[in-house]
Amino acid sequence: MAAKVLNTGRTEEEKVFEQSLRPRFLDEYIGQEKAKNTLKIYIEAARQRKDTLDHVLFYGPPGLGKTTLAGIIANELGVKMKVTSGPAIERPIDLVKVLINLGPGDVLFIDEVHRLNRQVEEVLYPAMEDFCVDVVQHEGSSGASRRIPLAPFTLVGATTRAGLLTAPLRDRFGVISHLELYSVEELKTIILRSAGVLKVAIDDEGALELARRSRGTPRLANRFLKRVRDYAQVRCDGVITGKTAAEALDFLDVDSLGLDNVDREILTVMIERFGGGPVGLDTLSASIGEDAGTVEDVYEPYLIKNGFIMRTPRGRVVLEKTYHHFGLEYVKED
């Protein structure tokens, strides 16, 4: 199996690092124009009415800024944010404890919200809809439940795939926002902003090269900025130029179009073992020893958006660009 040097999950060190680079208000946030513009209106409307913002669901590939946007919503509304995740809330009582501690208007951010278990999800329904929780009383034999009112709050849920959410949960979000992969220009602006925050010397070409290879994902762009800074410091004069960035990223096995080891393995297996496809997701994932969900959520969006592969009803197919990228001859089938 290929080494997963460039997966998009977060290390603890990166969480701290990302925190320092995170924009705090909508005006500082680069990209996601559609999500930003709709949020601006809903936040402003809630503020004017002195009302609680409706529950918001962000979905899209990892590393695009779902947590950042949740933090921005809280900052813009001037409220506190409590952060948790689907797998972290194991028992209904764990969620009840979180809910009863929220202040009026606070934001509760639940990452990987599709991974809440069913019992916990059942607690969330009345909490989202009526701002109350039903707690079963153990004393006595009646099993009667007591209704506890909550302060009105905004749930911000994040998921890599909205399709994995149960319908009752999805239906309780008033705002559903799809986050898209970023353009190279947007990533370049983010990299220059981050370099300013971190006081890293970088020129325009350096930022562009990093942006081109960051597969549409700010988390990767910021991760690369840090690694390339180390490389520039040790091997060159500390300034990230286009040449330094290209050298450093080659060194990290990220190629000129941002493909990492796993991307390349997906594509070469599709060509060499499956004649370019069509091949089903499960077969493909098993062939490279990856989880199908990871292939679908993490790797495919970039490969599809950039024309390396295409989804068809019969499976995934490799496109002409991939053959050219690998220096292979493309033979069109009739």
Q: Based on the residue annotation, tell me whether 219 is a catalytic residue of this protein.
A: yes
Contact residues for 20 (Cβ-Cβ < 8 A; gap 6+): 197, 198
Find the binder of ligand ADE among 2, 6, 26, 30 (CB under 6 A): 30
| Residue 175 main-chain phi, psi, to 5 deg | -125, 125
Reference 71, options 19, 34, 124, 136; nearest CA is 19
Distance CA 107, CA 83 (A): 9
Pick the piece of the chain touching ligand ADE (CB under 6 A) from 29-37, 223-231, 274-282, 310-318.
29-37
160, 62 contact by CB (below 8 A): yes
Residues 67-106 that bind ligand ADE (CB under 6 A): 68
Q: Based on the residue annotation, tell me whether 321 is a catalytic residue of this protein.
A: no
> Is residue 299 part of the contact set for ligand ADE (CB under 6 A)?
no
Find the binder of ligand ADE among 2, 6, 8, 29 (CB under 6 A): 29
> Is residue 65 part of the contact set for ligand ADE (CB under 6 A)?
yes
> Is residue 157 part of the contact set for ligand ADE (CB under 6 A)?
no
Point out the catalytic residue in the list 219, 223, 229, 316. 219
**Chain centre distance of CA 184:** 17
Find the binder of ligand ADE among 72, 107, 108, 190 (CB under 6 A): 190
Tell me whether residue 29 or residue 224 sits nearer to ligand ADE (CB atom): 29
> Is residue 21 part of the contact set for ligand ADE (CB under 6 A)?
yes
| Residue 143 main-chain phi, psi, to 5 deg | 65, 20
> Is residue 61 part of the contact set for ligand ADE (CB under 6 A)?
no
Q: Based on the residue annotation, tell me whether 229 is a catalytic residue of this protein.
A: no
Distance CA 260, CA 207 (A): 19
Q: Based on the residue annotation, tell me whether 305 is a catalytic residue of this protein.
A: no
Tell me whether residue 72 or residue 262 sits nearer to ligand ADE (CB atom): 72
Tell me whether residue 31 or residue 92 sits nearer to ligand ADE (CB atom): 31
What tokens appear for 70 in the block? 């949740």
Distance CA 213, CA 313 (A): 30
> Is residue 301 part of the contact set for ligand ADE (CB under 6 A)?
no
> Is residue 31 part of the contact set for ligand ADE (CB under 6 A)?
yes
> Is residue 216 part of the contact set for ligand ADE (CB under 6 A)?
no
Q: How far is the CB of 26 from ligand ADE (least distance, A)?
A: 10
Q: Based on the residue annotation, tell me whether 67 is a catalytic residue of this protein.
A: yes
| Residue 265 main-chain phi, psi, to 5 deg | -65, -40
Point out the catalytic residue in the list 66, 170, 212, 229. 66
Tell me whether residue 117 or residue 183 sits nearer to ligand ADE (CB atom): 183
Point out the catalytic residue in the list 160, 241, 244, 322. 160
> Is residue 23 part of the contact set for ligand ADE (CB under 6 A)?
yes
Tell me whether residue 22 or residue 55 sits nearer to ligand ADE (CB atom): 22
Point out the catalytic residue in the list 8, 22, 52, 67. 67
- By rule CB under 6 A, what count of residues binds ligand ADE? 11
Residues known to be catalytic: 66-67, 111, 160, 219
Give the interface with ligand ADE as residue ranges (CB under 6 A).
21-23, 29-31, 65, 68, 190, 193, 218
